[in-house]
Structure 1
Amino acid sequence: MAQRTTDIIVGLFILAGGAALLVLALQVSGLTLRPGGETYSVQAYFNDAGGLSPRAKVSMAGVTVGRIREVKLDQEMFQARVVIDIEEQYDSIPADSSAIIRTSGLLGEQYIDISPGGDLESLADGDTFYETQSALNIERMISNFASGQGGE
């Protein structure tokens, strides 16, 4: 009887560990088990999208307001076209807001930070950010500095 109780406790411990690993994996990957709410899509064009990837966060004032749906090259403008899904509850983002690619920490993941504007009109489904700031490319900066092109 004592052996059976020990086996049950060990089994429960293993199940709890597996559940904890699943939750950790979902947190790290940005996926969730709950279905996403209603969203609307906007797009932004960048000269350099850096390491942006689908499902990366989109934040405003440090609060996650959406996720990146796709990052593709626009064949006409030769710029990176980023489609962003913003949660519908954040439907009052000013239309003249800017989208800036930022990095979490020194070597962390890249995400889009929305800097609000002052326009009375709000972004709607299908709108485009007119002002964007591309990713900071550290390798390019070091290369320019080393070759003497950085100071002029």
Structure 2
Amino acid sequence: MQHSNTQDTLVGLFVAAGIAGLFFLSLKASNLSSITQKDSFMVSARFENSDGLKVKSAVSAAGVKVGQVASIELDPTTYQSVVTMAIDAKYNNLPDDTTASIFTAGLLGEKYVNLEPGGSDTYLANNSAIDITQPAIILEKVIGQFLFKAAEEKK
């Protein structure tokens, strides 16, 4: 069986399409697929612990992605984690008494910030701060507390 130039070209195009598909899949998996910069405003929140949260982690409200984490820094005076979030401009109607919590997607998934809207008539604006926060739950700490309580009950 002889190879023709057409067959070689089709195989080459198929391989190139496969490589391009893997490239875009890896971009999507690493949250780098947003090539265009959307209009957004910055909101910060202070957490006692932001363990596992990363820059470009999702920020969601009611299960809908409304932004992403822009930066995570340590406040040198309070030793709290200051998380700055870029919220898409179309979600500019989040009340200023919104609460922020760090959750885990699935049992061992990646962390994200969940916003729970309050009932205020004024809204979050650029460079505003969310005052009510709930830190990330550290699985190792919870398991340690459970084991410690179980050992205490046996005594």
TM-score by length of 1: 0.94
CA distance in 1, matches of 2:18, 2:10: 12
Matches within 5 A, 1:3-152: 3-32=4-33, 34-148=35-149
CA distance in 1, matches of 2:62, 2:151: 32
Kindly, what percent of the aligned residue pairs are identical? 36
Structure 2: 5+ residue stretches without partners: none
Displacement of 1:34: 3.3
Displacement of 1:145: 2.1
CA distance in 2, matches of 1:84, 1:78: 19
RMSD: 1.8
CA distance in 2, matches of 1:72, 1:149: 37
TM-score by length of 2: 0.92
CA distance in 2, matches of 1:20, 1:134: 37
Rg larger in structure: 2
Structure 1: 5+ residue stretches without partners: none
* Corresponding pairs, count: 151
Segment drifting more, 62-71 vs 2-11? 2-11
Amino acid in structure 1 at the alignment position of 2:91: Y
